[in-house]
Chain A
Amino acid sequence: EIVLTQSPGTLSLSPGERATLSCRASQSVSSSYLAWYQQKPGQAPRLLIYGASSRATGIPDRFSGSGSGTDFTLTISRLEPEDFAVYYCQQYGGSPLWTFGQGTKVEIK
């Protein structure tokens, strides 16, 4: 099983600040197979980034993804009030086919 470890567990920031979220895989993951999701309380997850760096339809350009191999990053350039949420990375490959990281909560400082 490919294990994804996200850090930090919680990120306390103010609106307008930059957020940098990390996702580290226990073994190499194809960039094409790495995605990021946002989940707000009481809502379903929303796809933000696929293929490690491609924004999904309708996602603002303040969200960007980067990385390769075992280290991937989601960056939110300037936090808007609606960006405070939990973020998950996800990978495809191995068994089980898809795994998620444990999540990073971005909270208002």
Chain B
Amino acid sequence: EVQLVQSGAEVKKPGESLKISCKGSGYSFPNYWIGWVRQMPGKGLEWMGIIYPGDSDTRYSPSFQGQVTISADKSISTAYLQWSSLKASDTAMYYCARHIGYSGYEAFDYWGQGTLVTVSS
């Protein structure tokens, strides 16, 4: 069974750093792209970026380029999303999601349960 399990909720202060994780199981983790999606409170979905764990090829949305860093460690089947200096506006639910992997199709077929990040002084 394919599963993506994300790390737990975080409460941080502005200016602090943070790294959240997404561990895949039940499939060949290096061979599927993993994307990150933000959902601010009461709002819709925003694609942030995506990584191919096999070679760490990474693409970012222009809105998030330079604001976050996406990485992966294929040896432990885990992808990461990190911030060096959090802002209150980073308060949101963050989801990881596996790219469908079917040649020629673009969608995310399995999703993590989400990590709630709260940034408040």
Binding site for B on A (CB under 8 A): 32-33, 35, 37, 39, 44-47, 50-51, 54, 56-57, 88, 90-92, 95-103
Give Cα A109 to B63, complex, Å: 37
B15 CB to closest chain A CB, in angstroms? 27
> Known contacts A35-B106, A44-B112, A50-B100; is A100 also within 8 Å of B44 by CB?
yes
Residue ID in chain B nearest A56 by CB atoms: B109
Give Cα A100 to B38, complex, Å: 11
> Known contacts A32-B104, A44-B114, A50-B100; is A98 also within 8 Å of B47 by CB?
yes
Give Cα A104 to B118, complex, Å: 26
Give Cα A11 to B103, complex, Å: 34
Taking a contact as CB atoms under 8 Å apart, the answer to whether B106 and A98 are in contact is yes
Size band of the interface chain B makes with A: 20 to 34
A92 CB to closest chain B CB, in angstroms? 3
Taking a contact as CB atoms under 8 Å apart, the answer to whether A47 and B109 are in contact is yes
- Which residues on the B side are within 8 Å of A51 (C-beta)? 105, 107
Taking a contact as CB atoms under 8 Å apart, the answer to whether A96 and B111 are in contact is no
- Which residues on the A side are within 8 Å of B100 (C-beta)? 47, 50
Taking a contact as CB atoms under 8 Å apart, the answer to whether B111 and A44 are in contact is yes
B50 lies within 8 A of chain A by Cβ: yes
Taking a contact as CB atoms under 8 Å apart, the answer to whether B106 and A45 are in contact is no
19 contacts between A and B (CB under 8 A): A32-B106, A37-B45, A44-B111, A45-B111, A47-B109, A50-B100, A50-B109, A51-B107, A56-B107, A56-B109, A90-B47, A90-B107, A92-B106, A96-B61, A97-B59, A97-B61, A100-B47, A101-B44, A103-B45
Taking a contact as CB atoms under 8 Å apart, the answer to whether A47 and B108 are in contact is yes
- Which residues on the A side are within 8 Å of B46 (C-beta)? 100
- Which residues on the B side are within 8 Å of A101 (C-beta)? 44
Which residues between 107 and 121 of chain B lie within 8 Å of chain A, taking CB atoms? 107-114
B92 CB to closest chain A CB, in angstroms? 14
Give Cα A23 to B68, complex, Å: 30
A75 CB to closest chain B CB, in angstroms? 18
- Which residues on the A side are within 8 Å of B50 (C-beta)? 97-98
